[in-house]
Structure 1
Amino acid sequence: MSRPLATSALALILGAGPLLADVTPNEVWQNLRDGYEQMGYQVQVGSEEGSGDQLSLSDVVLTAEDETASDMTLTIPRIDLAATGDGAVRSVVEGRMVLQMRDTLPEGEEVGITLTLDAPGNQTLSSGSADEMQHSFVMPTLVLEGRTLDDSDEVPVTATLTNVEGTQTNATAADGSAAQTYLGSADMLEMQISATGPAAGTDPDMPSEDMPSDDAAPEAEGEATAPTDTAATDSFDATFRISDLTLEGEGTSPAGDLNFGNQPAAALEAGFSGAGRFAMGAIAGSFTSATTGGEGEDATASGEFAAASGALAVSMSAEGLTYEGSSTDMTTQLTSSGMPFPISYAAALNSFRLAMPVVASEEEQSFSLLYALEGLTLDDAIWQALDPEAALPRDPASLTIDLEGQTILSQNFMDPEFADGSQTGPDGEPVMPYQPRSLSINDLSLDAIGASVQMSGDLTFGDDPSQPVGTVTGLFSGIDTLLDSLATMGVVPQDQLMAPRMMMAMFARPVEGNPDQLQTEIEFREGGSIFANGQQIQ
């Protein structure tokens, strides 16, 4: 999907709940309609019936207003709104909603997806005042069914959420800006994906070589006709189950006509912000696949994965974009006809966090990247294949990457041109939107198979990012012992150990009192020269 289409879809989803509500159904609908139009959508209503305490709307269609995202529509068959008699309004969506998104790739290929949403028994109760409204909603089940818009590949998707409920609060300030909070939950999400399509290198419109041609000799009368083969196909089937889902969110929208749907950069600069946190309980999934190669060879694969819990969070404002997630107690098993043995591994923790600027500025802005993998273990079958003599320690491995720094962003991240890299400098050459100015390596460490590496340092950058200035230090443990183990295993021939040891001697020196530890100091100087422990290497 193009960036305008993706951001337009995001805005539609974020605004799909009830917006400002009042004490009558007509006022509720007018505020709802105004909210969608402020997000950049055209709203059409097939028919409107009722007045006073009841209102029914039929064939409600929301269409993206921006021409670059005009192929996205949400169709709602019917909305019934009725006053409850105690100052609240009950809203019910009847029938299956249809969400369709289309886009055309640069090559001319049309892609997209069509989804139907069915929520029997749904209802939303809206109450409060025009300045601050509270909405409580329930959906016993929410079923999504869809398929890709592709003539050759079939990718049907079915997802079911059970016991969906939540609350949403919308407040409007005197200057017209708005603030929203959201809290929702579901007992279970179950999803099935079943994809089929022509095998690689085959033409779905052509019969296979086993299929007789039209001018083949006819069968003798009474002779049985053998079934013919069709073109080879690939298939993929997967199921997912996630329990105990919760979603929290908040956001602010500036006053006026600016909206994140079709003017994301301007809306961010005007004060738009949004944040969402998604937490999950137990996670489990499995998949199977079958493919046919270009030479007609068949291949199959299957796998299972599980985790005790997971989390995902995203926030965006003029201050930047933050995206982070984690999972705990992961297990994964993979089998394939192309692998000599099954792959099975587990990890106690896998987490990441990325923060970066999104609004262009001539001033330096902060960025950071954090990744942690803790307690990684491999199945005994893998160890038996790699190290049958148990020469290497099999303790859990870990990896940590902790970086932060300053950069100048020369182009808004949400601009359509950002993704295609079309920005150029005065000389006509492509310009990198992110221009680093400093980098701090807080921690870069790896601990595995009895050896460990720990690195840290600080670098600054001028106009040429390939020539940093600064110092990076490192501490290496167990490297010499690891080389001896690899030689024992036959991975490194004994008579070739001298070369890697000489290489280490060029960049590192022994730690006094601990011969199995090495330390290094790499210094980057002006002009591109590099020194290792005081000796120039470039």
Structure 2
Amino acid sequence: MTRYFRYGSCAALICSLSAPAAYADLTAQDVWQEWNNYLTSTGYDVTADTETSGDTLTVSNLKMMIPVPDEDTVVTLGIPSMALVENGDGTVNAIFPASLPISVEVEGSDTEELDAVVTMTHSNGKMLISGDPSQYTYVHSSDTLEFELTSLTIEDEPDASDAIKAKFSVNGSNGESTIALGDMRSFTQDYKADSLSYDLTFSDPDSTDAGSFKGELSGLSMNGSGEMPTEFDNSDMAAMLAAGFKMKGNMSYGAGNSDIQGSGDGQEFSATTSSQGGSVAVQMDSTNIGYDLKSQNTTVAVTASELPFPVSLEMAQAALSFLLPVAKTEDPQDFSFAMNLQDFKMSDMLWNLFDPQGTLPRDPATVSIDTTGKATLAFDMLDPEAAMQMETIGTPPGELNEIDINNLLISMVGAKLEGQGSFTFDNSDLESFGGAPRPQGEMDLSLTGANGLLDKLIEMGFVSSQDAMGARMMMGMLAVPGEGPDSLKSKIEINEQGQILANGQRLK
């Protein structure tokens, strides 16, 4: 994560800084100094030639070098020329050539040497900087913006350019952001684009191995905000967070699709995906990290030489979210985990592999769980030394204090299981449950269609009558009849003595 953040610091200056109307004076030198300070604070060693002529500051031979953490490797990014032009009203334009070759060099004893050129091209690209030396605001837009790998040499192999092709394109983009300087460097960003596409192909000149990855997103929207220390070591994420680094952001899109092709060793593979929208949200600070991912109306189709027929899947929604504490604290911290796979469908060809007679209902399946709770960490998760020490001495990473199961739903093949519950945990009692902290609480469960499903599994030969009888006896011990036909319900309780009860009947 740290490495990508550092590389992205440079890319942000090239293609995503943005600002609204001016309200004070800025000079070209102010802007250049701020960019230099920003890159230096994120770990880059910056060198460049600058020349001022009238209202224009020209930056040439710009080199940005950054070491890779824990490796004897240095990555150098180079930009031949750009200009900062004062407009006479306190604002500054950043001018990039319509075609700008960006050099990338990777060298060191721990990696293969690499030399590449990524050419940035744009049409009607504009970037306006305004504000004052304590707060910079940016606005940018372009009709098209494209990054293409135009040259690649790996360990003196010049034919790498023929083996690997890559292109990344953005159409109809605009955005704005603000960077305020003080004890911390705070930022806000908003960005929109009509579409984003990528196209990567590779082929091995010494074999038949080849592949391609293509895709597109439309209706793209991104926003974010955060704070970072004015000086910090990017190789130490724990120290960054302790110094006040925090951020949150969200990316959403209206529709997306991808196409993957591959071949090798006489085998071929292809996959296509599509969705009708989705989003990715992330948050991070000194206490927790959270992610929230969603995709709507997703379809997947796969064909492969090793598969007897094409495989296709559909899902109305796929969602995953979690919030995890990352810092050692004395008090319990919030956590959450949720997953929703809604209305999952697979093709009849796949069903027919194990149910050729169509005995089982083929209604869409849903698996959903939503949990929240509290836990106490015994170490800082993002501190590698602390994590290694905990692993070495075998100390538990922390304590689970409580958990709420807000929703549990499993619905498939004609049966449905639903539940809600809540438990607390006594971490001083590790004997009642074989070394695990003793839980206390209850959970309500309901099950419909279970007996009908068992009958169908017997008919298919998957379950014997004797095994089905055992399953029915177990359900009879744990549950009582529900309100409708083929329905069961149960209240599972664990009391403060560590006893387990089902509907008031003691099981343990």
TM range (shorter): 0.7 to 0.9
Rate the CA distance shift 1:305–1:512 in 2: closer, same or farther, 3 A.
closer
Q: 2:226 matched to 1:257? A: no
Q: What residue is the counterpart of 1:9 in the other structure?
A: 7
Contact kept, 8 Å, 1:40 with 1:66, in 2: the verdict is: no
Pairs within 5 Å for 1:141-160:
141-146=144-149, 156-160=165-169
Distance between the aligned counterparts of 1:164 and 1:9, measured in 2?
Answer: 22
Give the match for residue 196 of structure 2. 189
CA contact (8 A) 1:467 1:527 kept: no
Who is 1:200 aligned against?
none
Which residue of structure 2 aligns with residue 235 of structure 1? 210
Structure 1 counterpart SS, 2:290: strand
Offset of 1:469 from its aligned partner? 1.0
Contact kept? 1:25, 1:52, Cα under 8 Å: no
| Pair 139,360 (structure 1): closer, same or farther in 2 beyond 3 Å | farther
Structure 1 residues 39 and 518, CA gap change in structure 2 (3 angstroms): same
Q: How many residues align?
A: 486
| Amino acid in the other structure paired with 2:200 | I
- Partners of 2:487 and 2:374 lie apart in 1 by 33
| Post-superposition offset of 1:365 | 0.9
The range that moved more, 444-453 or 4-13, is 4-13
Choose the corresponding residue for 2:411, options 440, 444, 447: 447
TM-score (norm 2): 0.84
Which segment is superposed worse, 324-333 or 358-367?
Answer: 358-367
Matched, 1:412 2:380: yes
Deviations 1:222-252, CA, capped at 9 Å, x for gaps: xxxxxxxx96553332210111211111122
Matches within 5 A, 1:464-479: 466-470=436-440, 471-479=442-450
Displacement of 1:196 in angstroms is: 4.3
CA pair 397-460 structure 1, distance change in 2 beyond 3 A: same
Q: CA 1:460–1:516 in 2, change beyond 3 Å: closer, same or farther? A: same
Question: Match for residue 96 of structure 1?
Answer: 101
Q: Which amino acid aligns with 1:500?
A: A
Counterparts of 1:39 and 1:72 in 2: how far apart (Å)?
Answer: 14
**Alpha carbon RMSD of aligned pairs, Å?**
3.4
Unaligned runs of 5+ in 1: 198-229, 293-297
Residues 274 and 395 from structure 1, CA distance in 2 versus in 1: closer, same or farther, beyond 3 angstroms?
A: same
Q: Could you say which residue in structure 2 is the equivalent of 1:501? A: 472
Point out the more displaced range, 477-486 or 185-194.
Answer: 185-194
Q: Which amino acid aligns with 2:3?
A: L
In structure 2, the residue matched to 1:163 is 172
Shift in Å, 1:514 = 4.0
Structure 2 Cα separation of the partners of residues 342 and 535 of structure 1: 51
Partner Cα separation in structure 1 for residue 412 and residue 9 of structure 2: 44
Residues 424 and 149 of structure 1: is their aligned pair in 2 closer, same or farther, counting only changes over 3 Å?
farther
Opposite residue 245 of structure 1, the aligned amino acid is: L
Higher normalized strand content (fraction of residues): 2
1:492 maps to 463
Give the letter for the 2:102 counterpart: M
Q: For the structure 1 residues 455 and 103, does the alpha-carbon distance in structure 2 shift closer, same or farther, using more than 3 Å as the test? A: farther
Partner of 1:180: 187
Superimposed CA distance per residue, residues 383-439 of structure 1 (whole angstroms, 9 cap, x where no aligned partner): 344433332222222111111111122333333447xx52337xx434454532222
Aligned to 1:76: 79
* Distance in 2 of aligned mates of 1:183 and 1:235: 38
Aligned to 1:217: none
1:188 corresponds to which letter in structure 2? S
CA distance in 2: counterparts of 1:56 and 1:448, whole angstroms? 65
Alignment match, 1:54:
56
Which range moves more in the overlay, 463-472 or 318-327? 463-472
Residue identity opposite 1:165 in structure 2: N
Q: Is the 8 Å Cα contact of residues 443 and 454 (structure 1) preserved in structure 2? A: yes
Equivalent residue runs for 1:36-435 within 5 Å = 36-45=39-48, 47-64=49-66, 68=70, 71-94=74-97, 95-99=100-104, 116-121=118-123, 122-146=125-149, 156-173=165-182, 176-196=183-203, 232-254=207-229, 256-258=230-232, 261-292=234-265, 298-417=266-385, 421-424=387-390, 428-435=392-399
Say if 1:52 and 1:433 are closer, same or farther in 2 by CA, change over 3 A.
farther
Letter in 2 for 1:158: K
User: Residue type matched to 1:58 in 2?
Assistant: S
What is the CA deviation profile of residues 62-91 of structure 1, one whole-angstrom value per residue up to 9, with x for unaligned ones? Answer: 223675376233322222111122221111
- Larger mean Cα displacement after TM superposition, 457-466 or 353-362: 457-466
Q: What amino acid is aligned across from residue 504 of structure 1 in structure 2?
A: M
> What SS does the aligned partner of 2:390 have?
coil
Distance 1:496 1:430, change over 3 A: closer
Deviation larger for 363-372 or 116-125: 116-125
Amino acid at match of 2:404: S
Helix, strand or coil for the counterpart of 1:497?
helix
CA spacing shift, 1:233–1:533, aligned 2, 3 Å? farther
Instruction: Decide whether the 8 Å contact of 2:18 with 2:137 is kept in 1.
Output: no
Name the residue aligned to 2:34. 31
Cα distance 1:472–1:486, how it changes in 2: closer, same or farther (>3 A)?
same
1:222 aligned partner:
none
Post-superposition offset of 1:382: 2.7
Compared CA separation, residues 458 and 110, structure 1 to 2 (3 A): farther
Cross-structure match for 1:209: none
Identify unmatched segments of 5+ residues in structure 2: none
Q: 1:517 to 1:274 in 2, by over 3 A?
A: same
Query: 2-side partners of 1:101 and 1:342: how far apart?
Result: 41
Give yes or no for contact 1:7–1:262 (8 Å, CA) kept in 2: no
Q: How far off its partner does 1:524 sit?
A: 4.6
Cα deviations across residues 448-495 of structure 1 (Å, max 9, x unaligned)?
111011133223331657344123332211111001012222322345
Residue 330 of structure 2 aligns to a residue whose secondary structure is: coil
Any conservation in 1 of the 2:335–2:374 contact (CA below 8 Å)? Answer: yes
